[in-house]
């Protein structure tokens, strides 16, 4: 009898282990089904909530030269939940985060300071972070800036724009600096150039300009405005100002402007760009007048 007892114990232990493993497997399946049902309920509730709340319809330009299926430009539609104070940039970020992570656009500060999210919204150049969704008619049509090469979706190539800005030599150069003193500027002169300093290099004005669209060498309103900021500063040296005016008087400079005011209309910082260009034209005429 003593030899049969351990044999019974040895055969019983594997059977118990098999039963325990089967129970665990059944328990895991039950938990998995429960989680699936719970997720389905949450998704259904989310859909019902979306139907109950106010939404805005977006029609967003899509293009990706690196993906064969997306090389043909198209528009994708997104329905985003609306809340008071929502901007176009907010809506785009919601569409990207909840519907399509590949949706591409530029943004940074979200305070109309960096100028990175300039877009063509409902037929007008605007900053996405500055444009209230409630002020727009549906569907809200969002496209990249016109007259610019599209890199992907709403992102355009800005290299040419930056080159034009750099071509006017946008830096201060005084001939004489008072020794041991600050180089002071009068209040009146500061007020004169103050608006020109508000430029955030967004490119909206350049995109709206028909002349820039047809003449790739035209300096454009943003670059000319940047030159205005220094040319009209009373601290600018005479030789430096003369050199700067020579840049502006060239064939593709201020004289190419046809005074259409489109740049002034779309500027998100309300800079009187056309007025500045006309004033530089007058300065160019005066600098070439000779009395003898």
The CATH number that applies at residue 163 is 1.10.1060.10
Are both 72 and 140 inside the same structural domain?
A: yes
pLDDT at 52: 59
pLDDT at 289: 72
pLDDT at 290: 59
**What gap in Å lies between CA 227 and CA 170, rounded to an integer?**
6
- Judge whether 32 lies within some domain: no
Q: What are phi and psi of 150, to 5 degrees?
A: -85, 125
- β-pairing, 55-62 vs 74-81, is antiparallel
> Which residues touch 69 (CB under 8 Å, ≥6 apart)?
none
Are both 163 and 255 inside the same structural domain?
A: yes
- Judge whether 30 lies within some domain: no
pLDDT at 5: 47
Three-state DSSP at 77 gives: strand
- Judge whether 92 lies within some domain: yes
**What gap in Å lies between CA 163 and CA 216, rounded to an integer?**
11
pLDDT at 18: 65
pLDDT at 1: 45
Say how far residue 60 (Cα) sits from the centre of its chain. 14
Are both 192 and 279 inside the same structural domain?
A: yes
pLDDT at 39: 80
- Judge whether 88 lies within some domain: yes
Is the Cβ–Cβ distance between 221 and 266 less than 8 Å?
Answer: no
202: domain range? 159-176+185-288
Per-residue pLDDT of the chain (292 residues; tens, 9 = 90+): 444 545 445 555 556 666 777 788 888 888 888 888 888 777 776 666 555 578 999 999 999 999 998 899 999 999 999 999 999 999 999 999 999 999 999 999 999 999 999 999 999 999 999 999 999 999 999 999 999 999 999 999 999 999 999 999 998 877 767 676 778 889 999 999 999 999 999 999 999 999 999 999 999 999 999 999 999 999 888 888 899 999 999 999 999 999 999 999 999 999 999 999 999 999 999 877 755 5
- Judge whether 143 lies within some domain: yes
- Judge whether 135 lies within some domain: yes
Are both 196 and 128 inside the same structural domain?
A: no
Are both 170 and 264 inside the same structural domain?
A: yes
Are both 164 and 272 inside the same structural domain?
A: yes
Domain count, the chain: 2
- Judge whether 225 lies within some domain: yes
Are both 72 and 113 inside the same structural domain?
A: yes
Is the Cβ–Cβ distance between 131 and 141 less than 8 Å?
Answer: no
Residue 126's domain is classified under what CATH number? 3.10.20.30
Residue with tokens 């997720």: 39
- Judge whether 243 lies within some domain: yes
Residue in 58, 62, 61, 113 with CA at minimum distance from that of residue 87: 58
């Amino acid at each position: 009898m003593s030899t049969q007892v351990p044999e019974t114990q040895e055969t019983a232990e594997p059977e118990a282990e098999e039963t325990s493993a089967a129970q665990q497997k059944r328990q895991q399946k039950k938990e998995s089904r429960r989680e699936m049902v719970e997720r389905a309920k949450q998704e259904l509730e989310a859909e019902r909530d979306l139907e109950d709340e106010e939404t805005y319809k977006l029609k967003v330009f899509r293009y990706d030269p690196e993906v064969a299926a997306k090389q043909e430009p198209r528009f994708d539609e997104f329905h985003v939940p609306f809340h008071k104070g929502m901007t176009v940039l907010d809506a785009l970020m919601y569409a990207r985060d909840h519907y399509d992570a590949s949706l591409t656009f530029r943004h940074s500060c979200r305070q109309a300071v960096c100028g990175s999210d300039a877009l063509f919204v409902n037929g007008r150049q605007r900053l996405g972070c500055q444009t209230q969704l409630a002020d727009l008619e549906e569907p809200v049509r969002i496209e990249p800036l016109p007259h610019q090469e599209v890199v992907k979706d709403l992102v355009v190539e800005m290299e040419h724009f930056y080159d034009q800005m750099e071509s006017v030599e946008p830096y201060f150069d005084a001939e004489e600096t008072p020794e041991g003193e600050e180089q002071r500027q009068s209040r009146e002169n500061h007020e004169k150039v103050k608006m020109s300093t508000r430029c955030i290099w967004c490119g909206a004005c350049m995109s709206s300009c028909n002349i820039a669209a047809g003449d790739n060498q035209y300096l454009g309103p943003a670059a000319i405005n940047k030159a205005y900021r220094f040319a009209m500063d009373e601290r600018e040296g005479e030789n430096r100002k003369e050199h700067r005016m020579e840049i502006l008087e060239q064939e593709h400079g201020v004289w190419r402007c046809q005074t259409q005011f489109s740049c002034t209309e779309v500027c998100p910082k309300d800079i009187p760009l056309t007025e500045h260009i006309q004033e530089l034209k007058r300065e160019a005429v005066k600098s070439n007048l000779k009395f003898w």
